[in-house]
Chain A
Amino acid sequence: MSSQPLQASNMEELLEGIWKQNPVFVMALGMCPALAVTVSAFNALGMGLATTFVLICSCTLISMLRRFIPREVRIATYIVIIATFVTLVDYIIQAVSLALYEALGAFIQLIVVNCIILGRVESHAAKNPPLSAMVNALGMGIGFTIGLLALGGVREIFGAGQLFGISLFGQNFQPWVVMVLPPGGFFVLGLWLLFFAWLAKRKEARHGA
């Protein structure tokens, strides 16, 4: 089982999560934090990094333990491991930036149930050696962070006229209140999904022609 007949190169595996299988735009996973915490680019970045950390740590550890975990109780075991790292992240963020901790709220703890993590663990880490699992998790984490940043950036630019807290249009900017409300999250996510679907379609058309 350990000797894979087809060993994808590590670089390819990394790019898989960032672009081809981007968790937000292609697989549409982890929508709950993607919609809820992306009112600003800073929150999005914080959430993305926290999720990436949990993803890498749990995938690596589970990959190391993959032969010792009995099949019957694997999900429970995974969750315990993931929850351990989430608790770690929870305390770290609280210590580093209380403002970010308060902005993200319950969504830090909810990383436990983020389907990207359990999905990666079940479909990749549980079947692959630690290095491969780690690279894959890193790719997915970066992809997720990029996805959140794409949402958070657009919503912050329109909703507050700034990016990472830096004002872009001066004092007189009229904020689009809707963008920081939940409907704005859905609009922006929908438009990004539309954009990626269009890219995919265009690529398909080119390959067909």
Chain B
Amino acid sequence: MSMQLRASPHLHSGRDVPTIMRHVVYALLPICAFSVWQYGLSSLALIVTVTLSCLAAERISNKLSGTVNTLSDWSATITGVLLALTLPPAFPLWMGAVAGFAAVWLGKSLFGGLGHNPFNPALVGRAFVQAAFPTAITTWAPAFTAHRFTEFIPSSLTLPLMQPNDISSWVASNMVDGFTGATPLARWKFEHFVYPVQDMITGAASASTGETSALLLMVCGLYLIARKFMDWRIPVAVVGSALILALAFRVFGGDEYPPAHLVLLSGGLMLGALFMATDMATSPVSPRAVWAYGAIIGTVTIMIRYFGGLTEGVMYAILFGNALAPLLDKYLQPNVFGARKK
């Protein structure tokens, strides 16, 4: 009779990193499909390019560091898809590739790979290109143009290292009425214009490829929450704290501040809260720390949007939250069962 001696835990749910990551990719697919339907070839090419560059970067760093091949854990794929979804649809493909390499190398490989990265790699990539190419990352393209499935947005196919091709004549030739090239948040900030809710749900508002439909994002997020692939507390805390603050500012501050629905439906709040802030490697573990983490992200987002120079603050808010995550886990530890507080 053979006996095995093993340390606990003895029960395994059968879930491992690749499984969870794969399901996150599944949840992102409808969002990708929607963005391709909106922006056509350019969006498709951007998602493919960024994802492939992330995979290439991961493979190269595997080779250089002499570690095992980590492509099969799907984490680089998620980084790529998420990163592509945060970029504007007219973003030149070569800049997308730069973002992909920056995301995996600066955001993950240099820290020692998956699980050792303090910041969400996709957001590190986006922050890098936002600092490197500030004009290109705020050039928005109209959705639902007539020839979107047969032709690229001109700036997508810019030669590597060159300035993006001008898209103004392309916009004019597509005769998009009333296209201002500004996001709902920017139009509020500079013109106090309240975007129609319908436009922000159906994807007609200008925005990054993956943040145009808050409704679709919520449905996809709910799938992950229902399958227990993510901590529901994080999106609830992020969106909840943003909502409470937005309502408070609207009620006590008056018309100077945007209406609450604009805050929730516009920009990357839903995308960030559901898919970025919930990254397991960069968010806290214990419930109290998670609530604090989400609330900090929501609050910082509102502060940047209302009082900062930028129109959108979700990215920096999440990176800030990531930086605080270990500290929150340390100070908001749950009490050990049976232990007494001193």
Nearest opposing residue in chain B for A171, CB measure: B163
B238 to chain A, nearest CB (A): 26
Query: Which chain A residues numbered 172 to 209 have a C-beta less than 8 Å away from chain B?
Result: 172-174, 176-179, 181, 183, 187, 194
Chain B residue contacts of A177, Cβ below 8 A: 131-134
Chain B residue contacts of A187, Cβ below 8 A: 106
Chain A residue contacts of B131, Cβ below 8 A: 177-178, 181, 183
A169 at the interface (CB under 8 A from B): yes
B162 touches A172 (CB 8 A): yes
Query: Which chain B residues numbered 133 to 192 have a C-beta less than 8 Å away from chain A?
Result: 133-134, 136, 158-159, 161-164
A169 CA to B95 CA in the complex, in Å?
Answer: 16
Q: Mark B31-52, 1 if CB is under 8 A from A, else 0.
A: 0000000000000000000000
A174 touches B134 (CB 8 A): no
Chain A residue contacts of B132, Cβ below 8 A: 176-179
Chain B residue contacts of A176, Cβ below 8 A: 132-133
B128 at the interface (CB under 8 A from A): yes
Chain B residue contacts of A179, Cβ below 8 A: 132
Chain A residue contacts of B133, Cβ below 8 A: 174, 176-177
A174 touches B164 (CB 8 A): yes
A172 touches B163 (CB 8 A): yes
A24 to chain B, nearest CB (A): 20
B163 touches A173 (CB 8 A): yes
A194 CA to B110 CA in the complex, in Å?
Answer: 10
Q: Mark B109-144, 1 if CB is under 8 A from A, else 0.
A: 010000000000000000010011110100000000
Chain B residue contacts of A169, Cβ below 8 A: 161-162
A87 to chain B, nearest CB (A): 37
Query: Which chain B residues numbered 230 to 245 have a C-beta less than 8 Å away from chain A?
Result: none
Known A178-B128, A187-B106; contact A173-B134, beta-carbon cutoff 8 A: no
B325 to chain A, nearest CB (A): 21
B332 to chain A, nearest CB (A): 31
A174 touches B161 (CB 8 A): yes
A179 CA to B133 CA in the complex, in Å?
Answer: 10
B162 to chain A, nearest CB (A): 5
Query: Which chain B residues numbered 69 to 117 have a C-beta less than 8 Å away from chain A?
Result: 95, 106, 110
Find the residue from A161, A176, A183, A194 having the highest chain B CB count within 10 A: A176
- Top 4 nearest A-B pairs (CB, nearest first) are A178-B131, A178-B132, A176-B132, A174-B163
CB-defined A-B contacts under 8 Å, sample of 29 = A161-B161, A169-B161, A172-B159, A172-B162, A172-B163, A173-B161, A173-B162, A173-B163, A174-B95, A174-B133, A174-B136, A174-B158, A174-B161, A174-B162, A174-B163, A174-B164, A176-B132, A176-B133, A177-B131, A177-B132, A177-B133, A177-B134, A178-B128, A178-B131, A178-B132, A179-B132, A181-B131, A183-B131, A194-B110
